[in-house]
Structure 1
């Protein structure tokens, strides 16, 4: 089968099993990217919740409920979400540890087995599944 384009062409001598294995590793890393996005959403949502909580404390105080406002302010506003950590620290630890290690292994495998090429498995799947010559099924944007 003709490759989609040079950037996604299977390197010479690479087996189907290798393309599939590298494709599976790429799929796993994409799941990690989704999890990373969820972690950033968690980070932003907790930050927004803490700021909104601060507004609620101000409103409770303005409505004359000083003791309740003081209790919430001292116990919850600015509180760590995990032992010793705000969410930015959780994000940084994840990115510097597990995420960085996963990304490095993904890159190392692609460099060693695919000449650094990304998505070779998916590109071959596209070539096999698209209707060649039909509008909307072009191999690349340049083929339009």
Structure 2
């Protein structure tokens, strides 16, 4: 059998408008996933910069610039990036108050409307756009020529 596997075929009676709406909801979640990745990159880069500041303080002291080293040490090293927050707290707030809620609602919508099936819009787009019978255009991994 060619075409999407059972996990990527729309359930009986599911209309085009609903498939399109679920596809757009999935697309929005993908954008949130990307934003979350950037937020984690921000977290990691900011933490790395703070560790580098510790090295800079030592090097400034070793070079005899005690006043500047002390200022970097006490005014910048370990400073909150926004009032009251280090980056881990921003990441946790995003995860707890937005990301997890978004994922739950997207899953609930798929469960309620499409028997939990993912990427129906994309699976149908693939089926429409691929050249049937051509190498490199297989519907599923198990359709590969052996």
For the Cα contact (< 8 Å) 1:3–1:10, is it kept in 2?
A: no
Q: Name the residue aligned to 2:115.
A: 115
Give the Cα–Cα distance (whole angstroms) in 2 for the partners of residues 32 and 66 of structure 1.
Answer: 45
Q: How does 1:121-140 map to 2 (within 5 A)?
A: 121-140=121-140
Alpha-carbon shift at residue 53 of structure 1 (Å): 1.0
- Match of 1:50, SS state, is helix
Q: Name the residue aligned to 1:5.
A: 5
Give the Cα–Cα distance (whole angstroms) in 2 for the partners of residues 134 and 3 of structure 1.
Answer: 13
For the Cα contact (< 8 Å) 1:43–1:91, is it kept in 2?
A: yes
Alpha-carbon shift at residue 100 of structure 1 (Å): 1.1
For the Cα contact (< 8 Å) 1:25–1:106, is it kept in 2?
A: yes
Alpha-carbon shift at residue 45 of structure 1 (Å): 0.4
Alpha-carbon shift at residue 3 of structure 1 (Å): 4.5
Q: How does 1:57-72 map to 2 (within 5 A)?
A: 57-72=57-72
Is 1:141 the counterpart of 2:141? The answer is yes
Give the Cα–Cα distance (whole angstroms) in 1 for the partners of residues 100 and 84 of structure 2.
Answer: 22
* TM-score, normalising length: structure 1: 0.97
Number of residue pairs aligned between Structure 1 and Structure 2: 143
Runs of 4+ residues over 2 Å off in structure 1: none
The superposition leaves residues 12-54 of structure 1 with CA deviations (integer Å, 9 ceiling, x where unpaired) of 1010000000000000000000000000000000000000111
Give the Cα–Cα distance (whole angstroms) in 1 for the partners of residues 49 and 3 of structure 2.
Answer: 49
Where structure 1 has 5 or more consecutive residues not aligned to the other structure, the ranges are none
The superposition leaves residues 64-104 of structure 1 with CA deviations (integer Å, 9 ceiling, x where unpaired) of 00010000100000111111111011000100011111111
Q: How does 1:1-144 map to 2 (within 5 A)?
A: 3-144=3-144
Query: C-alpha root-mean-square deviation of aligned residues, in Å?
Result: 0.9
